[in-house]
Amino acid sequence: MDRPKRTEARTKQLNLSLTMCEWESIRQRAQVLGMRPAHFGRAVLLDQERTPTAVPQPESQFDRLVYGALSRLGNNLNQLLRHLHQTGDPPPPDLEPLLTDIRHIIERRVQR
């Protein structure tokens, strides 16, 4: 599935001058929420009633490695499915067992 299309292109830019301390504060706050600084700034500027909420971060080094591997795997699966949709080729027979394993890993991580 492709990323949803924006209804309106972002063609205007807002440039701010920040001190190093201000930049670090914004960068760290964005990082805690799992956002890029520009996305964090847009969220704060456009929605002053609600501030962005924190995305749960992995607790251990092992969890970070698992989430990183799952993220890369998801990216590869997305590329494979996009290719299959474009060419009309059938999915490979070993794809379903792989997806079952991935679902099982995610389910076990969520239950913790």
Provide CB contacts within 8 A for 43, sequence distance 6+. Answer: 35, 51, 52
Token readout for 83 is 């290719």
What's the pLDDT tens digit per position in 13-62?
889 899 998 999 888 888 877 788 998 888 888 875 566 665 566 678 88
What's the pLDDT tens digit per position in 49-68?
566 665 566 678 888 888 78
Per domain, the residue ranges of the chain are: 17-55, 61-111
Residue 110 identity (one-letter amino acid): V
pTM of the model: 0.46
